[in-house]
Amino acid sequence: MYFVFLFGLLELASSLPCDTSGSNHELLLSLNKDLLRSLEEQEGLPNPSVHLALRLSDFHNLLKEAEHLNRLKNDLHNDIQSSLSGNQPVTGRLALYALALKSSCYDLNTISFTVGDNSETLLVHLKKQMEQEKEYFTFSQRPLTNYYQYSLGVLALCVNGIRVNNHVVNKHIKAVENEHFKYGDTESIDTYAMAAMALQCVKNAGCVVKKSGCNIHNGAELDAALSKIKEKLLASQRPDGHIGNEFSTGLAVQALLAMGSPVWECAPSMDAMRRDARGNKYRNPMAISQVLPALQQKSFLTVQSKDCQNEDNTLVVEPTDPVVVLPSKLKVAVTVEVVTSSGTSTVYSLDVPKGSSLLEALKLLKEKNVGFTFEKESSLWGPFLSVVNGERARQSDRRYWHLSSDGTGLTEGISDFKLDVNQKIMVKNTSY
């Protein structure tokens, strides 16, 4: 009787949501409102990942979501159009755009891009982008962009009911087998997570065991790849519950949920994300857009079954008073070391107001006229360094500027990382 009672409790626990208390409900509402506020505060292009998270949420402000959808269809659309016309790879942006439109139940067949004199739908262009990614393997043994964007492309095609090319999927499976999801020597948990959702979608679509003529080598290979990803994610779970780091945990939990993990398996990571959210760790809208679906036990794969019917429309964002942040009178000493691709090193020192962002510190250093210069580019996560002291780290060369503080790699971008103590920042031109 004891064991029957024990197993009954375990079964009940595995069927309950990871968050049922009132405080967790309020936390979800708060994160949702933070995302909605970010729509008014964002600079640059509208973020399709934010739109996707808003649409997957249990709480809605349909007017603001509709306004953001229109911005995506104008501003982001035009940016992608420009890149396509310039023959630049856009797999990631195009895939997220497709997922965002799908989350609003929008007819993607009405969205098209024109290259030269030829106008084709978004999904046709995405299929072509994936073919280019696949063909790039022939001489480089890697995708044209990176495996994260490659995974996004597979996922976006799959959730929209488009059959994914056999060779595209097989390249994906082989990359998992050969553990190619790395930046340098560090495994990319984000990439493993996105690959899991993409491959799980392919499996769910029946592209195994010849059910729909996909003829992937066999279902066992796909299952083995998914099992390996799950092992990687669970093995990367830290004692504090994070999987990888604070900013990869959201996608990792999404992946585990998409692969059918029971809720008790993700509970420690759910708790870690809640602690981070209450501690205001997720200031970046992109981070919230990955955490919010996970905390509501959903994943980007959930968009496949979105029907947009009978949605809650009660979410109201209260006006907030503008916050004026006065420069701190306290100073912290910061040393910045720049290491070029050839290994040469230049060291700079400066004092900055405590609490300054790394970006603000770099601007101050540039203003000192000590020979330090930099350029930045925009991304969905915010600005990132592209050129330092005249040297460019380009994705096409598989290089980037790796940032670390006192030897520990940064998990936040240059506009989010705060300088609260004396420290040494290294900016190193790094290959991946």
pLDDT tens-digit map of 160-193: 999 888 889 999 999 999 999 987 778 999 999 9
| pLDDT above 50 (res 305) | yes
3-state secondary structure (DSSP) of residue 237: strand
User: Does 205 map to a domain?
Assistant: yes
Mean pLDDT of the chain, nearest integer:
89
Same domain, 207 and 347: no
Closest CA to 293 of 11, 58, 34: 58
Same domain, 301 and 336: no
| pLDDT above 90 (res 109) | yes
3-state secondary structure (DSSP) of residue 389: coil
Same domain, 296 and 337: no
Provide the edge-to-edge strand list for the sheet that holds 331-339. Answer: 345-353, 331-339, 423-431, 399-405, 408-409
Same domain, 259 and 352: no
User: Does 182 map to a domain?
Assistant: yes
pLDDT tens-digit map of 226-284: 999 999 999 999 999 999 999 999 999 999 999 999 888 899 999 999 999 999 999 99
Q: Give residue 5's pLDDT band: very low, low, confident or very high (50, 70, 90).
A: very low
Same domain, 361 and 404: yes
Which of 254 and 207 is assigned the larger pLDDT?
254
Give the range of the structural domain holding residue 184, as residue numbers without chain letter: 23-305
pTM score: 0.89
**Which CATH number is 147's domain given?**
1.50.10.20
User: Does 316 map to a domain?
Assistant: no
d(CA 52, CA 54): 5
Q: Give residue 2's pLDDT band: very low, low, confident or very high (50, 70, 90).
A: very low
Same domain, 182 and 271: yes
Could you say which DSSP state residue 302 is in? G
Same domain, 233 and 341: no
